[in-house]
Chain A
Amino acid sequence: MSEFFDKVAELFSTPEYIDSLLHGFLLTLQVSYFAILIGVALGTVIALIETARKTKWTAVPKFICNVYTTVIRGTPMALQLFIMFFVIFVIKGFPSIIIAIIAFGLNSAAYTAEVIRSGILSVDSGQTEAGLALGLSQRTIFFKIVAPQAIKNIIPALGNEIITVIKETAIVSMVGMYDLNMAAKDIGSGQNMASYIVPMFTAALFYLATIYLITFVVKRIEKGLRKSEMRGAEK
C-alpha cells in the first residue's frame, strides 16, 4: 500500500504529469461542452417534431426522427465514434476534435430528444385543450403553458445526460485523442510511471470533481424552477 502512496506523491509532485492531466482535461471539456450544445439544439428540434401533431407535413420528419433516435440509441457509442472516424470523415488531416464533437453531439441529440419529449408529454394534454378553449394561439399555449412546466421535468434528466456525455468522451482515447483518459494512459506508460493504477485514480478524481460541480449547478437550477411549488420550498 505504501507503494501506492509513493506513486500518488510522485504524480502530484511532477509538474509535467499535472500539466498533461490538465491538457487532457481541457480536451475532455471541449468535446463534452460542444457535444452537449449540439445535443441540446438538435435534440430540441427532434423532440418538437416528435411531439408535433400528426399531419401530412409532419409524417415524414416524424418518421426520420424516430429512425434516428432508434439507431443512435440502439448502437454503442464506441461504434458510432469509429464509424465517424473511419467511414464518414475519411479526410486526411481533418481535426480529430471536430469529428469527436460531431460524433458525441449526434449521439447526445438522440438522448436529449427523448428527455425533452418526455418533458413535453408530462404536461397534461388537458392544459393544451383548456388553452385552446380560451382562444389562445398554439404558440402562446406552447411557450406560456407547456414549455415552462416541461422544463421543470426536463432539467434533472438533462443534467443526467450531461454527466453521461462527459464520462463517455473518455472513449476518444480509442481513436488516439489526448483527453483526460489518454493523459492517464500517458502518465502510466512505460517511459513515465510504468503503472496505470495511480494515474487512473487521479483522472477519476477530475471526472468526479467536474460532475459534482455540474450536479450542484443542476440542483440549484432545479430549486429555482420549483420556487412556485410547495415541494420545492420544503427542500
Chain B
Amino acid sequence: MLVTVGMGASVFFSIRGEGEVDYVVETNAFFAPFEFYENREIVGVDVEIVDRVAEKMNKKIQIKNAEFDVIIDNVEAGKIADAGAAGLTITPAREAKVNFTIPYYNSVQYVIYSLDMPPTLRDDHVVWEALAGYTLGSQIGSTGYIFIDDEIENGVLKETGTSLKGIDSHQLAADAIAAHIIDFAIADELAAKFIVEKNPGLLALPLYYSGATRTEDYPVEESYAIAVNKERAELLTAFNEVLAEMLTENSEGETEIDRLVLKYMGLEDE
C-alpha cells in the first residue's frame, strides 16, 4: 500500500507540468550537438531554435524524444507532433509530407571505419565506389540510410553485392563495426566526429561522389531544416523568422547557429 502511494506520488511529480502545451516538437535526442540528453534534459542547437520560437510566439512548446524514423510521419499526421527538429535533411520524399523551413545547417556524410579495415581512400576522402561489395550500416531512416539505399537501388553500388543494414542509431552503427556486423557506417559529419573522437579504434572521412578526376570529386552534401506540419503555417513562419535572425552574420562573419554548434560541441572559446 505504502509502495503504491510512493510510486503514485513519484509518477505524479514526474508528469507535473506536462499536458498543457500549444505545440509539440519531436526530436531524436542522440544527435549531438543538435539534440542530446544532458542530465536527462534534451538540449542542443535545435532545442535553442525551438525555445526561441516559443518565446517569439509566446506559446508553450514541448520537445519530445522519439525514434528518428517516425518523426516525419508524426509531423505529417499533426496529431501528436506539430514539428520535427532533429537535424532533418530536406529530401523530396520528405517534402511531399511536411513543409520545411529554410535550411540552417549544411552537413556532409562521413564514412566511419575501423583502423583494422580501412576502405580504399582517395586522398582525404572516400568515394562511393570504394564501398562496393561491403556491408554498410546507418541509422535507420537517416539521410545516410536513404543515400546508401538510393545508390544500391540505382546508383554506383547497383549490383555490386553491397548490402545495407538499418541500425537503431549512429552510435550503435559504430559499435556494429567493432562487432563485425557491418564493414562501414555512414553518418552525418558531426555525429561521426563525436563518435571517432571517443573511440580510438575508429576513423571517419568524408564521403564523396567521384568526378571525372580526383580533384573533381564532390562531397555528399545535405541541408538541415525543421519540418513543420503542412497546416501550421503560423509555426512555419515563426521558425523561418527565428532562423533568419539566427543565420544573420555578425561583424566577424559568424552566425548564431555557428556559435551554438561550437557551444554544444564543447568547443566554445570562453
Contact = CB atoms under 8 A, between A and B. Distances in A.
Note whether A and B form a binding pair. yes
Interface of A: 16, 19-20, 23, 26-27, 29-30, 33-34, 37, 85-86, 90-98, 101, 174-178, 185-186, 188-191, 193-197
Nearest to A186: B37
Contact of A195 (B62, B191, B199): B199
Interface string B57-78: 0000010111100100010010
A190 B10 contact: no
Contacts of B79: 90, 92
Given A176-B65, A186-B37, A190-B191, A93 B198 contact: no
23 contacts: A19-B39, A20-B37, A20-B40, A30-B14, A33-B7, A92-B82, A93-B20, A93-B21, A93-B62, A96-B64, A97-B15, A176-B28, A176-B66, A186-B30, A190-B191, A191-B36, A194-B174, A194-B194, A194-B199, A195-B171, A195-B175, A195-B199, A196-B175
B67 A92 contact: no
B252 interface: no
Interface in B1-28: 3-4, 7-8, 10-11, 14-15, 18-21, 23-24, 26, 28
A36 to B, nearest CB: 11
B32 interface: yes
Contact of A174 (B64, B67, B198): B67
Contacts of B171: 185, 188-190, 194-196
Nearest to A33: B7
B80 interface: yes
A116 B170 CA distance: 44
Interface of B: 3-4, 7-8, 10-11, 14-15, 18-21, 23-24, 26, 28-30, 32-33, 36-37, 39-40, 62, 64-67, 70, 74, 77, 79-82, 169-172, 174-175, 191, 194-195, 197-199
Contacts of A178: 37, 40, 65
A37 B4 contact: yes
A196 B197 CA distance: 15
Contacts of B19: 93-95
A190 B39 contact: no
Contacts of B18: 93-95
Contacts of B32: 189-191
Nearest to B193: A190
Nearest to B187: A190
A176 B25 CA distance: 13
A95 B7 CA distance: 16
A117 to B, nearest CB: 25
B67 A175 contact: yes
A185 B30 contact: yes
B228 to A, nearest CB: 15
B77 to A, nearest CB: 8
B14 A185 contact: no
Contacts of A174: 67
A159 to B, nearest CB: 16
Given A33-B3, A92-B21, A189-B169, A97 B199 contact: no
B124 to A, nearest CB: 22
Nearest to A7: B198
A188 B4 CA distance: 32
B236 to A, nearest CB: 18
Contacts of A37: 4
Nearest to B11: A30
